[in-house]
Structure 1
């Protein structure tokens, strides 16, 4: 089982990664790999580049782990590569296809893949990578400086597309990504709820247009650990409000801090545990 609130179990056919943005500065997986390396864990004995990675955290594929989901007797919600990024450039295209083949062959499970490299996902799709219907794809977005990842995510035909805004280290406006398309009447409205919709060039004709949000789920959480950066409450509230208005499931994972459990998981007195519908 997993200690991550929004999944049931983790599956790591790849381990290791490299830091590429501010959200990676205090990577929990890098710190955990260092401990596992010191303990002699077999999967964590290759060291990564000390400038971007660390002891036991070199990108490593584990072919033997590919068979694990086939052995699970009951359906599970599976977070793929909690200790890596499946779409890291050092993970070969053939191995990515092998992981997708396992996912497609086990439709009883629902798989959640989270990446900071959705641009590579888009390129692999253009080269023939096919997304199984039981695979959710998300990208990590820690602040407004990396919203290009959302642009890339929206070009990928995943059944569920989601954001992990954890650690949230700055304000983030996702409204334009929730509804990226304009009214087909050409009036410029992006959704019927726009305040000026009935006064625009189409004279309110787009009121019957019902666009579906381009994002299916948003996770928000503060950073944890001894060097945790503070998450402003208004950053979390703003994302919650944007999701509520758009009808997008919102999951508030934690406030964070040195001891995250002490700060709790409630936002304005409520627990936000919304998730997309799991179909098995």
Structure 2
């Protein structure tokens, strides 16, 4: 199936019900389903920073309302049977670090407000661990944000193998690094256990991915984890083994599907059948490993 990004040029956040149902019909006709939805929480879409101005935070919550309208239609249609609504704090690291404690409090308030709307609509929200967002820029900051929000049944974490690799390295927060460059395999897995033990209880959605240890981004998504092809020779992760650390007892946390995130691939790569065969092969290995 597919996870959906709720903004242009993908899915219009204000799409009419008839157009959305027509799209759902096409997806269902191909024997596919819809999973998680990405809410348009960023400035320049619908939303604004979760620790920004009053208007920013109001727009953040509005983005969740729009996502919930779409999720309800897709659920009623029958094409969507699993998944969460993905969010970020949508504010930069530098702005966050001007007042970490105060901004964590603001994020928690915004996330709780958004969480109430999600809960009223039978949905859950998951923050994807991208290092470019303040209050999510390290594994410790992410944990602080989730704990401050305090809605474990509604607001959780979306673990992406590429992004969380950079948590290990402390790319945007050296003080939170669990590994140093040049680490050995013997050092890697205990560090990975520390990371996953901390965030796994909050993990309600999962992205299979590969990372070569570099960062990549454009615009507001600057310096975030680079997604690589599943068979990239420079890939740092044993995808299947790493996934088992995150997906222990996944069913108890309501995870019913996993997603491949390869959003940084050029279209010519995505239009090759071989790319998808490799991706599906990697995902099947994950499924078998758990």
So what's the TM-score if we normalise by structure 2?
Answer: 0.43
Q: Which has the higher helix share?
A: 2
- Bigger radius of gyration: 1
